[in-house]
């Protein structure tokens, strides 16, 4: 472990690489814009907070254009991607204008888009938002969920997608 002072840019890169040693699942968080258009993005900052009440947490870069939509929506979904859905992760991480074009999606009980073939899908009520440095932290109540134990999860570690060994 080095104690030599480094530049802010080097520190940020080293910090990001150190965080990359923590394996995470990959999710797509999705909602509807006020005009009804579905929007979504890839998120790997998802985690559980509480079982009673059922709460989850995730964060969103504060500089993204979709921030006002996610801050003001009442409900959204968190879709835990399966190992064979790296294409969806890439799509929802892209700057594509219509990420839902050609996708078969289910509609949640509050109208939120639910992706098919996922390990789990959570329908969440947008409860609390906090500024967290360069991100907005969302804490949300899970109002409904489903899961499919036949799919292994898509994992992100060391800056790349990984799959669980059998």
Domain coordinates of the chain in residue numbers?
Answer: 23-155
Q: What homologous superfamily does CATH list for 23-155? A: Electron Transport, Fmn-binding Protein; Chain A (2.30.110.10)
pLDDT tier at 89, thresholds 50, 70, 90 = very high
| 32-59 residue pLDDT tens | 999 999 999 999 899 999 999 999 999 9
pTM: 0.90
Average pLDDT on 74-91 reads 97
Query: What per-residue confidence (pLDDT) applies to 1?
Result: 55
| 65-76 residue pLDDT tens | 999 999 999 999
Which residues 6+ apart lie within 8 Å of 85 measured at CB? 26, 115, 117, 118, 154
């Amino acid at each position: 472990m080095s104690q030599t002072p480094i530049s802010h840019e080097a520190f940020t890169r080293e910090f990001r690489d150190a965080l990359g040693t923590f394996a995470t699942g990959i999710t797509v968080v999705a909602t509807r814009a006020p005009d009804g258009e579905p929007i979504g993005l890839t998120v790997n900052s998802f985690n559980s907070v509480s079982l009673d009440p059922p709460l989850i947490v995730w964060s969103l870069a504060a500089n993204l254009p979709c921030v006002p939509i996610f801050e003001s929506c009442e409900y959204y979904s968190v879709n835990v991607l399966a190992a064979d859905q790296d294409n969806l992760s890439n799509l929802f991480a892209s700057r594509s204008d219509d990420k839902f074009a050609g996708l078969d999606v289910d509609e949640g009980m509050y109208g939120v888009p639910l992706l098919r073939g996922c390990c789990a899908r959570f329908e969440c009520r947008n409860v609390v938002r906090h500024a967290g440095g360069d991100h907005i932290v969302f804490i949300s109540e899970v109002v409904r969920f489903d899961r499919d134990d036949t799919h292994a999860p898509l994992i992100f570690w060391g800056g790349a997608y990984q799959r669980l060994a059998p």
